Amino acid sequence: MKIKLNYSKITLIILLISCTNTFAQFGASASCNINAICDYPWCNQRRGVVLINFSENNTINSGSGSLLANEKRDGRPFILTAGHLIDRNNDGVISNAEQLALQSYTFTFNYQSANCPNPSQEPAKTFSLVGAVIHKFQPVFGGSDAALLELLQRPPGNFNVFYNGWDNSEDEPDNVHMIHHPKGDIKKISYSIEKIKIKTNGKRWRLKGWTDGTMQGGSSGAPWFNENKLIIGQQMAGLTPNDPCSVTNLTSDAGRFWYSWDEGTEFFGKLKSQLNPNGTGNIYWQSFTGEDACKSSYFITNANDLHTSANVNGMPIGFQNNNPVFSNPAPGTRSYDGVYMASGNIQATSNVNIQSGTSVAFYGNQVILSAGFRAISGCNFTASPQPCLGGCDVGVGKMPNSNNGEEGLSKLNTDPSFTEEDDVLENISLITLSQNMLLFPNPSSGQFTFLTSSEVSEPYSINIYDNIGRLVFSQSNISVPSISIDLSLESKGLYFAHVTMNGATYHKKIVLQ
């Protein structure tokens, strides 16, 4: 008797098993993974990525996901993740039991190292929320393996979260970054300059190899970002050997955001109907920038500023007869849980009336309500002097000795042998390479040139580290404006150059390919 096997499906089942991690734990990820906090330019995007944990058959499973911005910019806590984290039997249907189980999933923000080296003790999982409902779903077989969830609670102001932007175009990215929780470990970042391919009739991206970092179980659902820091898909599958760091062409697949955007049934398949509900016909946002949950201030002059669209729903609280059930205000009413959080002041003028049936809350350093402001009977209105924290340089997860540059690290100490107690570099100022300094070509096959147009008034030095903090190049007492740097004997990947000149340390990421 001959048995015909469907190898494509068998392979995919293997991929799924390897991508959803069980026994999630601190310190379990591969050594070549890079702590996400090390890569300053991705600080905002990092703040939007969340660790997802759930219990199944007496084991703790883990995955990753990301907050998404939406057209209304109203802070609804939408989470993009992998569909197979919810559809546990991979039958392409979200059952009542799976919907119910989702309400006990845990979503943990800011689970990360405080510095580039791995910490000796596990960071606290302080910033956790429990429960979500599912709005949109794409199956792993025949779809893009996507799930759009909504948390049952908006992340509070002290969570310091960021709502990531997205790109639903067909454009192929020049490079890919993935921010994830491999093996349920603290937040990591992976990077690839390899050519990305479109597979499975346009439903997924495929990548052959990570330039730095890797993919493991627990990475499922993690956002893939293009060079513009916009989400283009979510990690869905990949083969993960025992030592993924030793595999240079490790295959990783991601469901394409482009496909998830406009495929499937209108109610349960297409992301666009939830993220861009006011779009009609072909008039939809093609890309959408991310935003901070915490604004610097608000000045509200009329009720139209308070999310008064009839298309906006209330907070989801569960399912009934396979349909979402919402809290007040219900679908069709004037407001969606209008929570306004500011690090500074919130002021509402005399023209603002909080209408009956709406829910509005102001949290700021000061809440100033002008004479004539009205909260009409039947509304739910809160005003409280509770300023939020927002940005890369404040609150939880802030960057040590942070800078606002577009390149490089925020902290010079990348040597894992250093500790916070004996870090002699703690107070060195860090800024990116200035316009009168160049480090080129970048990427390079190994030969780099450093050039400065500034007058060399005193000797300077250049140190280059790999992604685990190992010093691979060092030259001091340089008194000429240009030197050659040879890294041709080093492995391909991401490196960090530090130039100390005239009392300041400048830094830049370089890629060896």
Q: Rounded to an integer, what distance in angstroms lies between the CA atom of residue 289 and that of residue 68?
A: 10
Q: Rounded to an integer, what distance in angstroms lies between the CA atom of residue 227 and that of residue 414?
A: 24
Task: State mean pLDDT over 61-80.
Answer: 90
Nearest Cα residue to 98 out of 77, 83, 79, 80: 83
Task: State mean pLDDT over 19-34.
Answer: 76
Q: What is the pLDDT of residue 458?
A: 86
Per the CB < 8 A criterion, the answer to whether 133 and 319 are in contact is yes
457-470 pLDDT, tens per residue? 889 899 888 766 77
Q: Across the chain, what does the average pLDDT equal?
A: 78
Question: What's the per-residue H, E or C state across 429-491?
Answer: CEEECCCCEEEECCCECCEEEEEECCCCCCCEEEEEECCCCCEEEEEEEECCCEEEEECCCCC
Cα→Cα distances 186→119, 156, 163, 164, 196, Å? 10, 21, 20, 19, 26
Q: What is the pLDDT of residue 162?
A: 94
Q: Rounded to an integer, what distance in angstroms lies between the CA atom of residue 147 and that of residue 138?
A: 6
Q: Rounded to an integer, what distance in angstroms lies between the CA atom of residue 348 and that of residue 383?
A: 11
**What residues contact 40, with CB distance under 8 A and at least 6 apart?**
392, 399, 402, 403, 405, 408, 409, 410
Residue with tokens 């070509």: 441
Q: What is the pLDDT of residue 36?
A: 92
101 by DSSP, 3-state: which?
helix
507 by DSSP, 3-state: which?
strand
Exposure string (b/e) for 119-135, b if CB count within 10 Å is 16 or more? eeeebeeebbbebbbbb
Q: Rounded to an integer, what distance in angstroms lies between the CA atom of residue 121 and that of residue 27?
A: 9
In the structure, what pLDDT confidence band is assigned to residue 414 with cuts at 50, 70 and 90? very low
Per the CB < 8 A criterion, the answer to whether 497 and 510 are in contact is yes
Helix (H) or strand (E) holding 9: helix 7-19
Average the pLDDT over each of 298-312, 356-370, 446-460 and give the range with the smallest value: 298-312
329 by DSSP, 3-state: which?
coil
Per the CB < 8 A criterion, the answer to whether 403 and 40 are in contact is yes
Q: How many Cα atoms sit within 13 Å of 202 on the Cβ side?
A: 10
In the structure, what pLDDT confidence band is assigned to residue 399 with cuts at 50, 70 and 90? low
Q: Which residue has the higher pLDDT, 273 or 313?
A: 273
**What residues contact 286, with CB distance under 8 A and at least 6 apart?**
167, 168, 169
Q: Rounded to an integer, what distance in angstroms lies between the CA atom of residue 193 and that of residue 177?
A: 9
173-212 pLDDT, tens per residue? 999 999 999 999 999 999 998 889 998 888 999 998 898 8
DSSP string over 332-379:
TSS-S-EEEEBSSEEEE-TT-EE-TT-EEEEESSEEEE-TT-EE-TT-
Q: What is the pLDDT of residue 306?
A: 65
In the structure, what pLDDT confidence band is assigned to residue 455 with cuts at 50, 70 and 90? confident
Q: What is the pLDDT of residue 330?
A: 40
Q: What is the pLDDT of residue 249?
A: 82
- Residue 421: pLDDT over 60: no
Nearest Cα residue to 398 out of 123, 115, 132, 95: 115
Task: State mean pLDDT over 274-286.
Answer: 68
What are the backbone angles phi and psi of residue 373, rounded to the nearest 5°? Answer: -60, 140
Per the CB < 8 A criterion, the answer to whether 395 and 158 are in contact is yes
Q: What is the pLDDT of residue 112?
A: 94
Instruction: Locate 383 and state its tokens.
Output: 């005003």
Instruction: Locate 471 and state its tokens.
Output: 């010093």
Q: What is the pLDDT of residue 201?
A: 86
Q: What is the pLDDT of residue 509?
A: 78
Q: What is the pLDDT of residue 436?
A: 66
Q: Rounded to an integer, what distance in angstroms lies between the CA atom of residue 128 and that of residue 477?
A: 49
- Residue 305: pLDDT over 60: no
Q: Rounded to an integer, what distance in angstroms lies between the CA atom of residue 33 and that of residue 217?
A: 13
Nearest Cα residue to 260 out of 170, 196, 178: 170
User: Which domains are seen in the chain, by residue range?
Assistant: 7-288 (2.40.10.10), 295-310+333-384 (no CATH), 430-512 (2.60.40.3080)
Q: Which residues pair with 362 in a beta bridge?
A: 340, 383
- Residue 1: pLDDT over 50: no
